[in-house]
Amino acid sequence: MSKKSIVFMMLFAFVLGSFTVTNAATIKAIKVQGNIPINADDPFWTRYGPTFHKHTVVDLDPQMITNPMWPAPATKWVNVRAATNGKEIAVRLSWTDPTRNDIMVRSQQYKDQAAIMFPVKQSGEEPPFTMGGDGERVNIWQWKATWDKEGAGHAGNNGMQDMEDVYDNMALGSGGYYMYEPGSKTSNMAPINGTPGTKEAWRKNQGVQDIAKRSSHLDFGMGKNEGAWNPGRYTGNMLSDASMRKSAVEDLNAEGFSTLTTQAHQDVDGNGNWNNNRWVVVYKRSLTNGDSNDTQFSGSKTPIAIAIWNGQNKERNGQKAVTQWNELRY
């Protein structure tokens, strides 16, 4: 463990007071032949597969380094397995959770999540386990239960949850603004002044300012519309545009708290399954690729840290259960 990590651990222990800081664990990836399935309920990952009895139990600590601190996270430990076939590496997490939280439409709803983190730079001292530091970038793979429910990676925008999924008659009570909104996509806008696809052309041809030109049908899928009526999707925001998601796992970078940033190119596959009061999540990626923002698994071991959020316990952002750096051998 690096001197920097030791300092953080001493600070962690001081802040925790009576809490116990757990020791680092060693996770050994088994070597297999052929494809590694990402389906969390595949026999490969069960008692009938090669990973059975090849697991490590990693204790989780409360996040007590930065505000908002979280002294009482719901998840106390996570079971970790890993496998590699020489081309890809996969990590499986499982933990107890009596409540499935995969709907997040109302403001009072929170989702279950799990993340694993690796240093981008694989040589020298590892960065702080507190999401890296300035110039010490980490690569974070964050699984979201809501993305799994929405079919991220294969259902496009059709599976996205929205307000009308909770409030069936929302369109009827929304007035003319939503009931008769234009149904055209901005990609089909007629040119204006020689420039296709402008908002001015859309207003002219689709009648945003002229109610007489608006669509005459009730739109019960108004929240999932394309174009300027969905600003997040129109500007290419992955949180609004599910078709941009490779899987239920978001590929991210950070260099310290409050710097979490999604990557322009998503490289991680993943899948989660909730059954018998337990979440099982599998992450998978190629060992190496050409993305400088990604961790390259080109050696034989790497630091790995884990975080779990329990939606029923209203955990989000820094309010979570965490680990320090552990070691993943592959």
What is the Cα–Cα distance from 24 to 303, expressed in whole angstroms? 10
What is the Cα–Cα distance from 326 to 93, expressed in whole angstroms? 14
Model pLDDT, residue 287: 98
Give the phi and the psi of residue 136 in degrees, each rounded to 5: -120, 80
Per-residue pLDDT tens over the stretch 96-136: 999 999 999 888 999 999 999 999 999 999 999 999 999 99
- Residue 222, both tokens: 């108004």
- Residue 226, both tokens: 């394309």
Among residues 100, 98, 80, which one has the least CA distance to residue 90? Answer: 80
**CA 137 from centre of chain:** 18
What is the Cα–Cα distance from 90 to 36, expressed in whole angstroms? 7
Query: Which regions in the chain score pLDDT beneath 70?
Result: 1-22, 164, 168-230
Model pLDDT, residue 43: 94
What is the residue extent of each domain of the chain?
3-153+246-329, 160-234
What is the Cα–Cα distance from 85 to 36, expressed in whole angstroms? 7
3-153+246-329 to CATH, choices 2.60.40.1190, 3.40.50.150, 3.40.30.10, 3.30.390.30: 2.60.40.1190
Model pLDDT, residue 15: 44
Three-class secondary structure assignment of the chain: CCHHHHHHHHHHHHHHCCCCCCCCCEEECEECCCCCCCCCCCHHHCCCCCCCCCCEEEECEEECCCCCCECCCCCCEEEEEEEECCCEEEEEEEEECCCCCCCCCCCCCCCCEEEEEEECCCCCCCCCCCCCECCECEEEEEEEHHHHHCCCCCCHHHHCCCHHHHCCCCHHHCCHHHHCCCCCCHHHCCCECCECCCHHHHHHHHCCCCHHHCCCCCCCCHHHCCHHHCHHHHCCCCCCCHHHCCCCEEEEEECCCCCCEECCCCCCEEEEEEECCEEEEEEEEECCCCCCCCCCCCCCEEEEEEEEECHHHCCCCCCCEECCCEEEEC
> Helices then strands (H, E): number in the chain?
6, 15
Model pLDDT, residue 160: 82
Model pLDDT, residue 5: 53
- Residue 125, both tokens: 């001292």
Model pLDDT, residue 186: 42
Model pLDDT, residue 180: 40
